Amino acid sequence: MPIVIVKTAPSAQQDAPSRETTEHWLWAAAPDTPLTEDDHPWSGKWLWFAPLSLLDRSWATIRTATEDGLLGYRSKAATLINTCTKSDDTRRPICIYTRDWRNIDDVQRVLTNLRTLGIADVLLYKTDSDTRRGRYGTGASTFVAPATKMKLVIPKRTREALEHQHTARAQARRTAAARRKAPLPRHT
């Protein structure tokens, strides 16, 4: 008897996190970005805690915008099986990733597009390095976007980190420039 390989149509789960029963997250990627792409060293994400009543519709909107290249390089939505004991059972996170949290113009661009899509809730931005370190809750956000606001707010901790990084880069540039200008040692 011959072996028959049957290809099934894409699962409806991609459109419905509320009906997914095996995966904790549903993923979408921007054009030319594989879902298997590793995290970037400076990656981060906008977090939207969508109400369960809007989860499927919200994910469909975010997934489409991500796949159309309007948002970050990938997005994911928590399914109903993705729960934590401390979490709000009436909401699930939808994450919209950017490659570099230090690129405030890109982080702002994604926020502006999220607002244009009609997302008016408070949005929090968190670096993936903070997630890996286990930073959750109050004070863990790198940026905040108050409800309905188009402009991100930069908390003091983030401002200080950006200033430190800017100072270090400026010092490195000055050091490199000084080395280029230094006279070559004479050999006799």
Report the distance separating Cα 165 and Cα 125, nearest Å: 19
Report the distance separating Cα 156 and Cα 178, nearest Å: 33
Phi, psi (deg, nearest 5) at residue 12: -65, -15
Report the distance separating Cα 23 and Cα 182, nearest Å: 59
Q: Tokens 């050999």 sit at which residue?
A: 187
Provide the residue-wise pLDDT of the chain in tens; the chain has 188 residues: 433 332 223 344 457 898 988 889 999 999 988 766 666 788 999 999 999 999 999 999 999 999 999 999 999 999 988 666 566 778 899 999 999 999 999 999 999 999 999 999 999 999 988 888 888 877 788 888 989 888 888 766 666 666 656 576 667 777 777 777 767 667 76
Report the distance separating Cα 55 and Cα 47, nearest Å: 13
Residue 96 contacts residue 75 (beta carbons within 8 Å): yes
Count other C-beta atoms under 10 Å from residue 74's C-beta: 23
* CATH match for 14-154 among 3.60.21.10, 3.40.50.11540, 3.90.1640.10, 3.30.760.10: 3.30.760.10
User: In 3-state terms, what secondary structure has residue 144?
Assistant: strand
- Listed by start position, the domains of the chain span 14-154
Report the distance separating Cα 55 and Cα 79, nearest Å: 9
